[in-house]
């Protein structure tokens, strides 16, 4: 073993301390040049020892720290040890933060150099800087920040930032050692509290919004986020809470929700509110052992008020209406503006009808007094449909739908009344819904056909045919037009149906002409005159199929003149200019005035079957028929008598001067193939046997063709 007091031993001891020191160690001569540097120092500055020895320390020190470093070096040369921090730049250009210890080297009383030891504080100082930034950020944050100790029961707070103090009114001294449950109050959501407790117990994140209370008792909405903080062993040591005052946002959302669910004009709840709250209203009524009732209220004739007096005037009347209806309802009722001039009242009452009947009467009484606005006085009435909800409420909107159905029944009775929903009405509506869908299918799959009822003259020759639509349903067979045409008129489906009839009639005109049928008549719906493309469509078809003048006749009913008669007359003139004749169907049953008759561009009048049917037994019917014939002659119009069913009627009409006829006595409406056979038989039958032959044909037609005896709007089954 070496002598511990020997020079060699001491030198090795010193070199071990220098060489194997984990910290950078170096020696500088009085000129500031590196004399020695250990491997840790070389590694720090990322250089080889040969690149450093003999070089001045200032080659490493950043320029801003050189003067301060020089002062410390000179102090060390003066015999005083120094401790300071500087920044150096290693050989890769990276700036490092070092803690430097300088110790003077004294030999025989003289300072011969400076011993240096460095510690790399770069990561530590960066961490400290980051922590300072985080601390300042937390302190400056507009959100409340809290830190709770996860290792102590109740999770007491160890820190709150100034924003938390401002937000809650509680100072840090009030909160340290306590927890945020102090912010909870009577209206704080228990579900939100349970969510927080569950999250803390499970050591997981929590995000919720809840109503909290400040120190002064005022409330605010708090958007709270809690996150666990874990140590290196993945153990939760703390919880950090971020709290944001969202009271303004909540109030804004409440305003937007109110605006979305309430009518801006009347202030009443709207349809959105009704759909989202109806089930709750119904359940609340049932919990009170009462039945929920819906009263669907629709104003009678409100549209003309908007049209004539303006929407601003109409809005004021609607506001007055809402206030009057509210006044007639029980205090716990809900009144909703369903849309336009429609209101829905939800009333909880016993199932017996007397209470609701009385409320309906009170509502109608509100319309007995005139409405006044801008010195203008108007009167209104309403139709009310009533439905009661009982049993399952899975589809509570069905209650409103049923009251809506009942309201339309009240409308049919002339308005200013109320009607209850019943199952018969429900079945009818369901049938209409199904029928409407089937009509769409019929149009898509070409289930419609045209039948042709001949028009004849005094010589029993065919002078034309009327095209009548037939629906050959794949399951039900032929369906009466009386069942589906009125529905099609209400739903607007009459337009594509009419379009199909027009197209088919034009396409068959040439074939009919080859049979010896000189003209074909089609029925137009009043709706077609209000879509502004009727004349253009007829013109295109006429050009395409090249019909001769008078080969096509369009038949209209008198009610087509009810809306905008001047425009209808204009369109009829344009239709006649195309070489298409115009006939008034069911003449005498509508509302046309004689002044319109004077101006109507009409070629033909068809006397309604109700008058023809009575001419042999009713003198008034006979007089009307004679008068119509006389007027037509004076106006240079031809006449067709509809519904001729007996030879007696035919002979009497001849005496009155009629020249055109249509009816079962001659022929029912026939499919195209049967019409071809029928017209061919007429040509080959001797005149003296013609009537007998026709009666036989009629009998066969009765047996072979569907029989419909009900008149349908716009389309008359034969």
pLDDT of the residue at 428: 77
Q: Please, is 397 exposed, middle or buried when counting C-beta atoms within 10 Å of its C-beta (0-12, 13-18, 19+)?
A: middle
Token code pair at residue 198: 């569950």
Helices 494-515 and 481-491 pack at an angle, to 10 degrees, of: 130
pLDDT of the residue at 8: 61
> Do 411 and 302 lie in a common domain?
yes
Q: Please, is 6 exposed, middle or buried when counting C-beta atoms within 10 Å of its C-beta (0-12, 13-18, 19+)?
A: exposed
**639-644-646 Cα angle (round to 5):** 140
Rounded CA separation 427/630 (Å): 48
Query: Which has the closest alpha carbon to 520: 431, 622, 452, 621?
Result: 452
HSE of 708 in the Cβ direction (CA atoms, 13 Å)? 24
| Pairing label, strands 110-120, 25-28 | antiparallel
Q: Answer whether residue 1 is part of any domain.
A: no
Q: What is the CATH number of the domain that holds 44?
A: 3.30.450.20
Helix (H) or strand (E) holding 37: strand 34-37
Token code pair at residue 500: 């199909």
Rounded CA separation 387/401 (Å): 9
Q: Answer whether residue 132 is part of any domain.
A: no
pLDDT of the residue at 595: 61
Q: What is the CATH number of the domain that holds 488?
A: 3.20.20.450
> Do 193 and 272 lie in a common domain?
no
> Do 204 and 309 lie in a common domain?
no
Rounded CA separation 342/299 (Å): 7
Q: Answer whether residue 245 is part of any domain.
A: yes
Q: What does each C-alpha distance from 588 to 65, 557, 611, 648 come to in angstroms?
A: 115, 10, 8, 22
**Are the C-beta atoms of residues 262 and 251 closer than 8 Å to each other?**
no
Rounded CA separation 530/118 (Å): 98
> Do 200 and 74 lie in a common domain?
no
| Pairing label, strands 462-473, 520-523 | parallel
Q: 227, 251, 275 — which closes off a domain? A: 251
**Are the C-beta atoms of residues 561 and 591 closer than 8 Å to each other?**
yes
pLDDT of the residue at 16: 67
pLDDT of the residue at 596: 61
Token code pair at residue 645: 């069913």
| 410-437 exposure pattern, b = at least 16 Cβ within 10 A, e = fewer | bbeeebbbbbbbeeebbeebeebeebee
**Are the C-beta atoms of residues 114 and 27 closer than 8 Å to each other?**
yes
Query: Which has the closest alpha carbon to 557: 584, 592, 593?
Result: 584
> Do 457 and 556 lie in a common domain?
yes
Q: Answer whether residue 136 is part of any domain.
A: no
> Do 620 and 545 lie in a common domain?
yes
pLDDT of the residue at 132: 77
pLDDT of the residue at 711: 32
Rounded CA separation 145/122 (Å): 29
Question: What's the chain's Rg over C-alpha atoms?
Answer: 50
Q: 216, 231, 251 — which closes off a domain? A: 251
Q: 67, 91, 123 — which closes off a domain? A: 123
pLDDT of the residue at 133: 77
Helices 481-491 and 423-445 pack at an angle, to 10 degrees, of: 90
10 Å Cβ neighbour count for 511?
12
Q: Answer whether residue 595 is part of any domain.
A: yes
Q: Is 412 left (phi over 0), alpha (psi -120 to 50) or beta?
A: alpha
**608-614-616 Cα angle (round to 5):** 130
Q: Answer whether residue 106 is part of any domain.
A: yes
**Are the C-beta atoms of residues 390 and 381 closer than 8 Å to each other?**
no
> Do 357 and 445 lie in a common domain?
no
**Are the C-beta atoms of residues 362 and 355 closer than 8 Å to each other?**
no
Domain count, the chain: 4
Q: What is the CATH number of the domain that holds 302?
A: 3.30.70.270
Q: Could you give the dihedral angle defined by the CA atoms of residues 648, 654, 660 and 663, in that order, rounded to the nearest 10 degrees? A: 0
Report the Cα–Cα distance between both ends of the chain, in Å, rounded. Answer: 138
**Are the C-beta atoms of residues 24 and 118 closer than 8 Å to each other?**
yes
Q: Answer whether residue 714 is part of any domain.
A: no
Residues making up the chain, counted from first to last: 718
Q: Please, is 252 exposed, middle or buried when counting C-beta atoms within 10 Å of its C-beta (0-12, 13-18, 19+)?
A: exposed
- Helix, strand, coil percent values for the chain (each to nearest 5): 45, 25, 30
pLDDT of the residue at 578: 93
pLDDT of the residue at 129: 76
> Do 570 and 651 lie in a common domain?
yes
> Do 605 and 524 lie in a common domain?
yes
> Do 228 and 290 lie in a common domain?
no
Q: Answer whether residue 712 is part of any domain.
A: no
Rounded CA separation 116/100 (Å): 7
> Do 503 and 631 lie in a common domain?
yes
Query: Which has the closest alpha carbon to 128: 169, 99, 108?
Result: 99
> Do 239 and 272 lie in a common domain?
no
For residue 287, give its domain range. Answer: 263-421
Mean pLDDT in consecutive groups of 10 residues from the start of the chain, 718 residues = 58 68 92 93 91 92 94 94 93 92 91 92 82 75 89 91 92 92 91 91 92 93 93 90 91 84 90 88 88 93 82 90 94 92 93 91 92 86 89 69 89 89 79 86 92 95 95 91 87 89 94 94 89 87 93 88 81 93 82 63 89 90 90 89 94 93 94 91 52 43 36 34
Sequential DSSP letters for 365-409: HTTSSPEEETTEEE--EEEEEEEE--S--TTTHHHHHHHHHHHHH
Evaluate if pTM is beyond 0.95: no
**Are the C-beta atoms of residues 29 and 35 closer than 8 Å to each other?**
yes
């Amino acid at each position: 073993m070496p002598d511990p007091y020997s020079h060699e031993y001491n030198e090795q001891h010193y070199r071990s301390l220098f060489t194997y020191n984990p910290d950078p160690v170096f020696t500088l001569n009085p000129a500031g040049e590196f004399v020695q540097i250990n491997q840790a120092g070389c590694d720090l500055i990322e250089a080889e020892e040969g690149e450093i020895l003999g070089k001045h320390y200032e080659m490493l020190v950043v320029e801003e720290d050189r003067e301060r470093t020089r002062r410390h070096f000179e102090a060390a040369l003066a015999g005083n040890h120094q401790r300071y921090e500087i920044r150096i730049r290693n050989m890769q250009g990276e700036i490092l933060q070092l803690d430097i210890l300088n110790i003077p080297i004294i030999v025989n009383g003289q300072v011969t150099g400076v011993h240096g030891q460095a510690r790399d504080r770069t990561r530590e100082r960066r961490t400290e800087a980051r922590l300072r930034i985080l601390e300042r950020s937390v302190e400056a944050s507009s959100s409340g920040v809290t830190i709770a100790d996860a290792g102590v029961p109740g999770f007491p707070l160890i820190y709150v930032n100034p924003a938390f103090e401002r937000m809650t009114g509680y100072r840090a001294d009030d909160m340290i050692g306590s927890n945020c449950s102090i912010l909870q109050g009577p209206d704080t959501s228990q579900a939100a509290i349970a969510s927080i407790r569950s999250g803390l117990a499970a050591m997981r994140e929590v995000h919720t919004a809840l109503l909290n209370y400040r120190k002064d008792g005022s409330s605010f909405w708090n958007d709270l986020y809690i996150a666990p903080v874990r140590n290196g062993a993945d153990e939760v040591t703390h919880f950090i809470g971020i709290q944001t005052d969202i009271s303004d946002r909540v109030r804004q959302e409440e305003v937007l929700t109110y605006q979305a669910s309430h009518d801006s004009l009347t202030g009443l709840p709207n349809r959105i509110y009704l759909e989202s709250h109806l089930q709750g209203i119904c359940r609340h009524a049932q919990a009170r052992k009462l039945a929920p009732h819906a009263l669907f209220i629709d104003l009678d004739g409100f549209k003309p008020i908007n049209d004539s007096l303006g929407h601003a005037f109409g809005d004021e009347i609607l506001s007055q209406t809402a206030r009057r209806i509210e006044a007639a309802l029980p205090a716990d009722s809900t009144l909703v503006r369903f849309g336009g001039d429609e209101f829905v009242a939800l009333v909880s009452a016993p199932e017996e009808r007397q209470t609701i009947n009385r409320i309906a009467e009170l509502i109608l009484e509100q319309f007995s007094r005139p409405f006044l606005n801008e010195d203008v006085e108007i009167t209104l009435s309403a139709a009310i449909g009533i439905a009661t909800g009982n049993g399952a409420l899975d589809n509570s909107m069905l209650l409103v739908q049923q009251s809506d159905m009942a309201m339309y029944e009240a409308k049919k009775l002339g308005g200013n009344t109320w009607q209850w929903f019943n199952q018969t009405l429900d079945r009818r509506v369901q049938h209409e819904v199904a029928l409407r869908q089937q009509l769409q299918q019929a149009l898509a799959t070409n289930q419609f056909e045209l039948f042709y009822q001949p028009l004849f003259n005094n010589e029993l020759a065919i002078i034309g045919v009327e095209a009548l639509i037939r629906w050959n349903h794949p399951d039900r067979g032929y369906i009466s037009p009386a069942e589906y045409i009125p529905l099609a008129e209400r739903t607007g489906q009459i337009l594509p149906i009419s379009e199909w009839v027009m197209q088919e009639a034009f396409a068959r005109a040439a074939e009919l002409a080859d049979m010896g049928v000189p003209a074909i008549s089609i029925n137009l719906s009043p709706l077609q005159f209000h879509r502004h493309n009727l004349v253009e469509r007829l013109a295109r078809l006429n050009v395409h199929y090249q019909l001769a003048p008078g080969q096509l006749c369009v038949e209209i009913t008198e009610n087509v003149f009810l809306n905008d008669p001047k425009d209808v007359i204009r369109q009829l003139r344009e239709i006649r200019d195309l070489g298409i004749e115009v006939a008034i169907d069911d003449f005498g049953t509508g509302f046309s005035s004689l002044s319109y008759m004077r101006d109507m561009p009409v070629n033909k009048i068809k006397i309604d079957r109700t008058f023809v049917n009575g001419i042999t037994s009713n003198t008034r019917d006979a007089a009307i028929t004679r008068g119509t014939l006389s007027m037509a002659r004076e106006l240079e119009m031809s006449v067709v008598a509809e519904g001729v069913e007996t030879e007696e009627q035919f002979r009497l009409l001849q005496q009155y001067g009629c020249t055109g006829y249509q009816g079962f006595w001659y022929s029912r409406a026939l499919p195209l193939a049967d019409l071809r056979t029928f017209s061919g038989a007429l040509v080959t039958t001797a005149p003296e046997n013609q009537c007998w032959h026709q009666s036989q044909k009629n009998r066969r037609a009765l047996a072979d063709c569907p029989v419909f005896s009900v008149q349908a709007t716009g389309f008359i089954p034969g």
